[in-house]
Amino acid sequence: MLAAAPLASLVLAVCAPGLAQESNPTQASTALYVRSDTDNTTVVTPRLRVGAPLAESSRLDLVYTVDVWSSASIDVRTAASLDARGNYKYVVEQRDEIDVSAEHGLGDSILGASYRYSVEYDYESHGGSLGLSQSLAEKATTLALTARAYFDRVGRAGDPSFDRPLRQLGMRASFNQVLTPEAFVSAAYELTHLEGYQASPYRSVRFGETPQAWLGGCVLPVKACKPENNPNTRLRHALALSGRHALSDGLSAGLGYRFYIDDWELMSHTLDADAAFGFGEGWLVSAAYRFYTQGSAAHFESLYPADYAGAYYTGDKELSALSSHRLALELSKRTALDELGSELGIALRISPSYYLYDAFALLDDVSAIEATIATELSL
């Protein structure tokens, strides 16, 4: 049999409920995620998930998430949020999200549907997905297809007249193949089309300025300062390949690669590798490394010249050429509570990361640390 996978099911169960399990247990999961970085940004995200069978082959899952975000990052500074002393203010926002999903098994097929509603002070999003998963060859092969649609409204604090729509339509097709009792491979393709407002209402772009002058933001009337303007449409493609192999009863290793490209001419590559080792009574320790690199979007410039004649311009560092390195270390423990299969699990994950901005004039690099603690009760 395959050895246990890393980043054990606790965190994954809370964040994204998967296909109905054969045992179809009643579950309650919690997770607390905290992220802090050197760009003066902190994110605290508690999650709660409950799930229960509706019938022998059906289940319902509910996830509630809160994101509390505080920042005085470069994005806030370019929005020129200053206090009375001339220091950049910390902006604090909260996002609340609820996600409901249902699944029903029909022989070797599983039908799934979900709905998500998310709201914050200046942003609202709702939408859902429909999916079908089909097992073949005595469940050695699994094919899945999911379609999704989300409809957002973008606002701006202090300006009730600012209301911009954003629509996202997409699909995901995946293939999973068990090669041997010790190994499997998977592939997935995603296509996403976005139409509507895709800039930040708080981000401004200066033209013909030095990086030092741009750091002052657009506090005073400046002729060379304009609100960010990105294209209204975007077509995204992503292809992911991964595999996993059990090296012994308790040790397994995995590799993955993801290629991304869109019609903003942004292209990225992601490579990840991990290993997990199970020991003792329900203990699992894992380590993972991920490398990411991307080029700049076609309309991104490190500094726009005063005579720039392009229709689009952005101050978003995430559209610049960048690379990142991320480590993840996790320790988890599952404990049987009775002879009927009830379990209690707990997991702790620590993830340091480093981002290098190769073509962003205002910021060279960012270091971040993430921590997640999760618990799960299965009955």
Q: Please check the confidence at residue 11 and state whether its pLDDT lies above 70.
A: no
Mean residue pLDDT across the chain: 89
Q: Please check the confidence at residue 5 and state whether its pLDDT lies above 90.
A: no
- Identify the band that residue 16 occupies on the pLDDT scale cut at 50, 70 and 90: very low
What pLDDT does residue 208 have?
79
What pLDDT does residue 56 have?
85
Convert the pLDDT of each residue in 191-230 to its tens digit: 999 999 999 998 888 887 666 555 555 544 455 778 899 9
In this structure, the number of other CB atoms found within 10 A of the CB of residue 79 comes to: 22
What pLDDT does residue 343 have?
94
Q: Please check the confidence at residue 72 and state whether its pLDDT lies above 90.
A: no
In this structure, the number of other CB atoms found within 10 A of the CB of residue 8 comes to: 26
Coil, helix or strand for 29?
Answer: strand
Q: Please check the confidence at residue 71 and state whether its pLDDT lies above 80.
A: yes
Coil, helix or strand for 15?
Answer: helix
Convert the pLDDT of each residue in 100-145 to its tens digit: 999 999 999 999 999 999 999 999 999 999 999 999 999 999 999 9
What pLDDT does residue 29 have?
96
Task: Look at the pTM and tell me if it is higher than 0.85.
Answer: yes
Coil, helix or strand for 322?
Answer: strand
Residue type at position 49: R
- The Cα 80–Cα 58 span in angstroms is 51
What pLDDT does residue 15 have?
45
Tokens (6 digits) for 378: 């299965």
Report the alpha-carbon angle 47-118-238, nearest 5.
85
What pLDDT does residue 213 have?
59
Q: Please check the confidence at residue 274 and state whether its pLDDT lies above 60.
A: yes
Q: Please check the confidence at residue 316 and state whether its pLDDT lies above 70.
A: yes
What pLDDT does residue 18 have?
47
Q: Please check the confidence at residue 172 and state whether its pLDDT lies above 70.
A: yes
- The Cα 210–Cα 303 span in angstroms is 8
